[in-house]
Structure 1
Amino acid sequence: MVLTISMMIFTRNSTTNLFPLILGLFMEIGGTSSRVINTLSNAGVSVSVSTIERLKKILSDDAKRHAVALLNSNRRFFSLLDNINIFLRKSEQRLFNKNTMINATNIVIVSLPNAVEEAVNLEEKLASRGKRASAVGADILPTREDNEKMWGSFEGLVVQFIATYCPGSESWDERKEMMGYAESLMAKDRPLEPRKTDTRPFGVFDVNEGSKMGMIKVLKALQEASGLTEEEWSGKTRIIAGDWLTSSNFRSARRDRSSDINAMERLEYGEELSQLFHFALNATHMLMRLHFGNAILDPGSLAKHKGLLNRTWDAAKPNYADGKALIRHSLIARILYSIMWKPTLDELKELATTLVDNYADPMSARDAKSHNDDVAAHSIYFIRDALIFCEFEHAVSHADAGRVLRVLKFWAFSFRGAGLHNYARECLEILLRWEYELTPPLQAALEQSWFVNRWGLPGRWIASDLYLEQLNFWVKVSDYKLRKV
């Protein structure tokens, strides 16, 4: 009825186009062809393609104005950037050699409401550089306190999985108490208070930041688009967030320009920060390398479970969602296998402690290995690594940077063992900077830069770069026409 009325009104008066405009925008974002949209426009269902393009331009310019306003305010912020690749005319790659690749950089400016003015003090930041020279091996090793807190979180995760996924658990009398007990076991270091994050897309820059020179060009374009002079931009600490490649390119460019003419050219204002989603993505690759195994020789391997679930993706380089689903599915199945009755709260507490003590302890795996039980040993190692992965996810969803840093201590060695040396070194880079080279205000600002909460609700935080990956997805789907800034 609404659509019919809208069609009748729109065909009589084209300025009454609110519903056709919204409908046309969503159809274009969903991949509807221009020919279909124009046909629906003639019928009064949607506006034309040219009107949709004008709307996209207006929305983009309005978003950039909001971002520039934040950049020129007295509020603290960080810049989140990532490179996206759009393949044009892929079908003509061999026939006419007219294919091309657009390497663009999407940037988001995110406010840091809890950061104080001292966090962007450039002099204090520069005075702390190089203090990691006094670091020792114990700085990167998990401590006894780390192990105890991790152990408690393991028990909390086991209780949560059983109370959530056990068949019929929704009707258990003590289920609410079980979930409360599980939450009380989870370690809590310094979680952020739930607050809706102020995120402001800054548009797509026609620059490839996947190299040192590209990184320098992106930062120069960012400074020019902000309306700040070079002195104003380089006079304060600027947090530059991205993936490992972004941080690596920035550090390499800063090292090469250490003797340049001024602070802007030396890039000494930048404080690079590798974001958490890419750590989680590489953790799925790590778990696949370590525990995929052989479906015939090891019935408890991920390869066997992948076949049972009829998953067809490539295990050599898994998609994050597919890899995460298989890891959690296999972990939960192993935990639920141990419970065949409706437990009370006291029985569930005892069961969780027993499971963690016997099936998440590397010493138990060594004992099984000594008895030539390779299947049990591999299963114990997997359960431990999968619980660490779930602890990382739980820490991100509650914006607890202390727990994230604890997981990175364990992952530094796991990444190294799996051959993911870049992220192993990045774990050490973060741990040593936090220990020696960050002032407390800057450390708090960097920790806040890891998380985004789009709804302002507790337990609904996500990694900042995951938010940017979602923006990149819509850029690709809408076939955004790049404009030079």
Structure 2
Amino acid sequence: MTLYVILFHGDLGTGDRIFSLQLRRSIEDSPWDRFQYVIFIPGLFHVKMACADAIYRLFIKHPDARVDETSLMHDISKLRPKETGIISSSPGFRRMHQVIMHAGICRRLDCWRTLVSQLDNKHATLESFAKAEPDFHTLQTLANKFTQQYVANHNLDRLRQQPAAQRDQQFENSTLLNKYCLLYEELTYAMNAGDIGRVELCLLPWIFIFRGTGKHKYASHLLRFLLDVHFLYNERLRHAVRSNWLVNPNGKMNSFRGADWCNELLNLWTKVEHGGTGSNRTVDYIIKESPLVQTYQNIRKTIDKNFLLNRLATSHTGPNMLKTFQETMEHLSKHNPHKIQPGRKTARTILDAIDRGRAMLPSGGTAGAALTSEAVDDEDEDPPANDDNLLVELI
């Protein structure tokens, strides 16, 4: 029996290799030879990248999903007008992360505008509502109505069972988009705050979403990990795993990162920044330089500090999005994605991936296939964690 365990953070490929190794060694006599002391922990940085990719698959990847004026792609045409081609084909994590966050902000503001204007004709704009200085209780009451009316819930099935003349298909798609943006943002905030319990709760709907969007490996790995943590491990091991799932490299508030993010950052320094160029870029050279990577970074920080650069060479202030948000809000107010217009059609009905994934989970995928006539994309490769993707955690 081993007295200690090794917590091994990584992506899906790392987990597959560890499980394969343990399976091949399962006939050995001792726990040491069976590698039972190796505990694989799915990296939350890669999970977050998978969440962004799932939203891309649902709302952008299919050409018909970009047609409606109330679609996410038309929001992107206002938020990032020069990058619509890149985002529609291969956006990458950083672009997709910013699109989800910015589009979510604009759409929630439009929901507030629609809600307050319906309750009181005097407040046609959010500015007039803000001048009225509502108290906290009023805002809380409105927020509850907001989530019930403009975020997809159990009433979505009832809306979609109505006759075609009474349905507003674009409104239905908009409520689903609001739902997934909120789920993504809540997971992001929980990770940044280091709230492990909240992270675990946030991952539950994402397991179904991963199933429903064809990312079956992520669903299987996360489900297996959560079951092991809460039903297989003893109390001490459970505490160790949950306490080390996230790390805080700089010790600042709301600066927790997935441990796999630190691994990818080290890989970036080792293979890209200090891996050599041209004929010098060889495996032997990278291995030789790898022990000095942290020393190089310390020297760089010392030089920046001596010249009073204070990271200004690599860290910049975020862009002022006020005008861009105003243009996006004008577009949303013109087409009213959150105001029911009976009979409004859509080029593509977005199916609820949570319902699809829930139907697929018990039967291994056969039950959920009936929910859609299209074959579910079963690609599960981890996207490359390049410097742009790593910088998302620093924004």
TM over 0.5: yes
Counterpart of 1:479 in 2: which secondary structure? coil
AA in 2 matched with 1:319:
G
Counterpart of 2:28 in 1: which secondary structure? coil
Distance 1:276 1:443 in 2: 17
2:153 to 362, 367, 370: 362
What TM-score do the two structures reach when normalised by structure 2? 0.60
Instruction: Classify 1:235/1:439 alpha carbon distance in 2 versus 1 (closer, same or farther; 3 Å).
Output: closer
AA in 2 matched with 1:321:
R
Does 2:103 correspond to 1:334? no
Larger radius of gyration: 1
Distance apart, 1:260 and its partner CA: 3.2
* Number of the residue aligned with 1:399: 194
* Number of the residue aligned with 2:226: 431
AA in 2 matched with 1:365:
L
Distance apart, 1:235 and its partner CA: 5.0
Distance apart, 1:457 and its partner CA: 2.3
What TM-score do the two structures reach when normalised by structure 1? 0.49
Instruction: Classify 1:262/1:242 alpha carbon distance in 2 versus 1 (closer, same or farther; 3 Å).
Output: same
Instruction: Classify 1:482/1:263 alpha carbon distance in 2 versus 1 (closer, same or farther; 3 Å).
Output: farther
Counterpart of 1:265 in 2: which secondary structure? coil
CA displacement 1:399-438 (0-9 Å, x = unmatched) = 1111111112111111000010000111211221122111
Q: Gapped runs of 5+ residues in structure 1? A: 1-122, 124-233
Query: Share of identical aligned residues, percent?
Result: 24
Distance apart, 1:479 and its partner CA: 2.2
Counterpart of 1:313 in 2: which secondary structure? helix
Q: Which has the higher strand share?
A: 1
Cα contact 1:412–1:427 (8 A) shared by 2: yes
Distance 1:483 1:246 in 2: 20
Instruction: Classify 1:443/1:235 alpha carbon distance in 2 versus 1 (closer, same or farther; 3 Å).
Output: closer
Counterpart of 1:240 in 2: which secondary structure? strand
* Number of the residue aligned with 2:287: 483
Cα contact 1:286–1:415 (8 A) shared by 2: yes
Does 2:20 correspond to 1:252? yes
Q: Gapped runs of 5+ residues in structure 2? A: 114-125, 277-284, 292-395
Does 2:237 correspond to 1:442? yes
Does 2:238 correspond to 1:464? no
Cα contact 2:275–2:286 (8 A) shared by 1: no
* Number of the residue aligned with 2:58: 290
Cα RMSD (Å) of the superposition?
Answer: 2.2
Distance 1:394 1:288 in 2: 20
* Number of the residue aligned with 1:129: none
1:196-275 alignment runs, 5 A limit: 235-260=3-28, 262-275=30-43
Counterpart of 1:459 in 2: which secondary structure? coil
The number of residues matched between the two structures is 253
Does 2:140 correspond to 1:349? yes
* Number of the residue aligned with 1:320: 93
Distance apart, 1:261 and its partner CA: 5.9
Does 2:241 correspond to 1:473? no
Distance apart, 1:286 and its partner CA: 0.5
Distance 1:327 1:408 in 2: 17
AA in 2 matched with 1:452:
V
Distance apart, 1:478 and its partner CA: 2.4
Instruction: Classify 1:428/1:399 alpha carbon distance in 2 versus 1 (closer, same or farther; 3 Å).
Output: same
2:246 to 435, 448, 451: 451
Distance apart, 1:281 and its partner CA: 0.4
Structure with the bigger RCO (C-alpha within 8 Å, sep 6+) is: 2
Distance apart, 1:446 and its partner CA: 0.9
AA in 2 matched with 1:355:
F
Distance 1:253 1:467 in 2: 24
Cα contact 1:243–1:278 (8 A) shared by 2: yes
1:2-401 alignment runs, 5 A limit: 123=1, 235-260=3-28, 262-292=30-60, 294=64, 297-308=67-78, 309-310=80-81, 311=83, 312-315=85-88, 317-337=90-110, 338-339=112-113, 340-341=126-127, 342=130, 343-346=133-136, 347-369=138-160, 370=162, 371-401=166-196
* Number of the residue aligned with 2:338: none
Cα contact 2:66–2:74 (8 A) shared by 1: yes
Distance apart, 1:315 and its partner CA: 4.0
Cα contact 1:237–1:269 (8 A) shared by 2: yes
Cα contact 1:295–1:304 (8 A) shared by 2: no
AA in 2 matched with 1:469:
E
Instruction: Classify 1:265/1:335 alpha carbon distance in 2 versus 1 (closer, same or farther; 3 Å).
Output: same
